[in-house]
């Protein structure tokens, strides 16, 4: 993938996340990582997704070294979140950080989301864990996210008092997982209003884990 293609993918995905209300204003961020060249392409800081162009996207190393950046652009303030995930999860090449409303609501109340939908297993790996709070724009946000998504293995996490992170081997996979996090959170929220949500039974979950070749947790 060329650098130009990487930048175009980031711009298109950022705009799509805004239009589908996974983010508001300039919140959230999107990145992809080319492990062959060790280049990370990430959304710039504080730029409206509706006017963002591919050339606004920042190319950098996970250590913070800038490779390509317009003079008036800086990488997302949460670039360390993305960098630590790439460094800590070698099967991940795309990261999406959103502030989708229902999922972030559970992050604010420090609640995890159990396996209430069978789709959560193939798409998210199971229940949605909660990563411990980390100060914004620090390594801790990423380190805590990696911890939440690796033991047991998951493809997403709620970030305490912050938002959501979803990962994938490519941008399409990470994006659909971010969508499913909000979908599960929304359904769980409404279920809580009308009764007591019931998780998928243990036997059914184990059968589905075997079907989708997932760990037994």
Classify residue 201 as exposed, middle or buried by CB count within 10 Å of its CB (0-12, 13-18, 19+).
Answer: exposed
Which entry of 20, 78, 182, 210 is annotated as an active-site residue? 78
Q: Could you tell me how far CA 103 lies from the centroid of its own chain?
A: 12
What's the Cα-to-Cα distance from 200 to each of 110, 116, 216, 217, rounded to whole Å?
21, 5, 14, 15
Answer yes or no: are the C-beta atoms of 145 and 84 closer than 8 Å. Answer: yes
| Residue 87 appears among annotated catalytic residues | no
Angle at 186 between CA 180 and CA 135, to 5 degrees: 80
Answer yes or no: are the C-beta atoms of 83 and 62 closer than 8 Å. Answer: yes
Q: Which tokens belong to 69? A: 């950046």
Catalytic residues: 78
């Amino acid at each position: 993938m060329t650098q130009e293609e990487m930048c175009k993918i980031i711009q298109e995905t950022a705009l799509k996340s805004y239009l589908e209300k996974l983010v508001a204003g300039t919140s959230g961020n999107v990145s992809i990582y080319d492990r062959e060249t060790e280049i990370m392409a990430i959304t710039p800081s504080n730029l409206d997704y509706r006017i963002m162009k591919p050339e606004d996207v920042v190319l950098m190393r996970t250590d913070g070294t800038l490779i390509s950046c317009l003079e008036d652009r800086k990488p997302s303030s949460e670039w360390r979140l993305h960098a630590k995930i790439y460094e800590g999860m070698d099967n991940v090449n795309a990261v999406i950080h959103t502030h989708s409303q229902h999922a972030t609501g559970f992050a604010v109340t420090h609640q995890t989301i159990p396996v209430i939908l069978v789709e959560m297993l193939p798409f998210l790996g199971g229940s949605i864990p909660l990563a411990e709070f980390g100060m914004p724009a620090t390594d801790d946000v990423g380190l805590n996210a990696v911890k939440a998504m690796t033991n047991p293995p998951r493809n997403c996490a709620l970030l305490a008092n912050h938002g959501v992170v979803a990962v994938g081997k490519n941008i399409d996979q990470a994006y659909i997982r971010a969508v499913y996090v909000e979908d599960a959170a929304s359904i769980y929220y409404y279920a809580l209003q009308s009764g007591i949500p019931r998780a998928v039974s243990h036997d059914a979950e184990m059968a589905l884990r075997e079907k989708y070749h997932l760990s037994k947790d």
